[in-house]
Structure 1
Amino acid sequence: MTNETITTPAALPLAPGVWALDPLHSAVNFTIRHLGIAKVRGRFNGVRAELYVGERIEDVRVSATIDLATIDTGNPDRDAHVRTSDLLDVAKRPTMDFRSSRIRGEGEDWTMEGELTIGEVTRPVTLAVEFGGLVDVPVDGSRHAGFEATGEIRRADFGLDFAPGLLGDVVKIQLDMQFVEPTSA
């Protein structure tokens, strides 16, 4: 691999290669309505992801696996219930997997299309993506790229329709991700 960066107008300025997730500076957050009047916020603490950057924007891919048992809403009793067969059923559906299929946009307006799989159900998902920029970390000299992605899914689309009316169907997702440039770049 070379040390060149992608410089076409429709591309991100990232060195080609596999960028590893920086898990200490990344988060998978969500919001869901409760009783239609309030929001419950939470996060998943177990996330693995990588960003593959090719020579062209059409070659860029993102993959992620989220450990559903790592849900954290700030309430251990609620989290334990969410893990049961009433909701996520982590015994049968331990992970949620995302694979991008297309990234497009220009300037500051980017979208990432892909497929989200929860258990045996796979559905298309589109996320709005904001590129936060690149920075060289002074401590170790590594280069990091930051991204924020937002979107929403519907619980019913994945067979997670427990307690309609009690819990909203729409789950809003916010991903804050940092990736580390390949050392061979």
Structure 2
Amino acid sequence: MTSQTTAPVLPLPAGTWAFDPFHSAVGFTIRHLGIAKVRGRFNRLEASLVVGETLADTEITATVALDSIDTGNADRDAHVRASDLLDVAERPTMTFRSTRIEGAGEDWTLVGDVTIGDVTRPITFAVEFGGLVDVPMDGSKHAGFEATGELRRSDYGLDFAPGLLGEVVKIVLDVQFVAPPAEDG
């Protein structure tokens, strides 16, 4: 008796999925003074999902506009954008490109590279697949995902105020994509 193994595939139809910016967000948490957390988000995110026939043929990319940071405090946001922290004039975006996807069911791992300025480092996200639903208003199919990961500020040369600001930045992405139109056959 021979056993046949099949490579896992995403539970999504192949094709280029449209990013839904109205139902997506990228948030972060960083420690302040080691005793509390500052939470924020970036208000401008673009992403793409191309689902291939296999996981190896599937690619996810994302770009975050760093000047869209929003921590709920305009003065703090202006300081974070300045040259001693993010320096958005020199580093306007943070980009992500997937290199590997693993998993099955609702739990996945997304591995890729994050680039801030001229520094690229690997990152791993734990991904929860929220599901695939038909939207009654227009018949479109939406897929939802939550991805969580961490990066170290010093890896990207963002080492202003050690001790004042935490080294680890926790990232949470909540994203939706819309399925490509079904081909009429």
Matched, 1:98 2:112: no
Residue aligned with 1:183, SS? coil
The aligned counterpart of 1:20 is 18
Q: Which residue of 1 aligns with 2:77?
A: 79
In structure 2, the residue matched to 1:151 is 149
For residue 157 of structure 2, what is the amino acid of its counterpart?
G
Which of these residues, 110, 113, 125, is aligned with residue 112 of structure 1? 110
Amino acid at match of 1:179: F
Q: TM-score, normalised by structure 1?
A: 0.93
1:137-176 mapped onto 2 (5 Å cutoff) = 137-176=135-174
Residue aligning to 1:29:
27
- Residues 3-41 of structure 1: per-residue CA shift (max 9 Å, x gap): xxxxx6722221111111100100100000000000000
Which segments of 5 or more consecutive residues in structure 1 lack a partner in the other structure? 1-7
**Residues 80-115 of structure 1: CA deviation (Å, up to 9, x unaligned):** 100001110000000000000100112333111100
Checking the alignment, whether the CA contact within 8 Å between 1:9 and 1:106 is kept in structure 2 is no
Two-structure CA RMSD over aligned residues (Å): 1.1
Identical-residue share of aligned pairs (%): 71
In structure 2, the residue matched to 1:58 is 56
Q: Deviations over 1:125-154 (max 9, x none)?
A: 011011000011111111100000001000
- After TM superposition, which residue ranges in structure 1, 4 or more long, deviate above 6 angstroms? none
1:134 to 110, 119, 132: 132
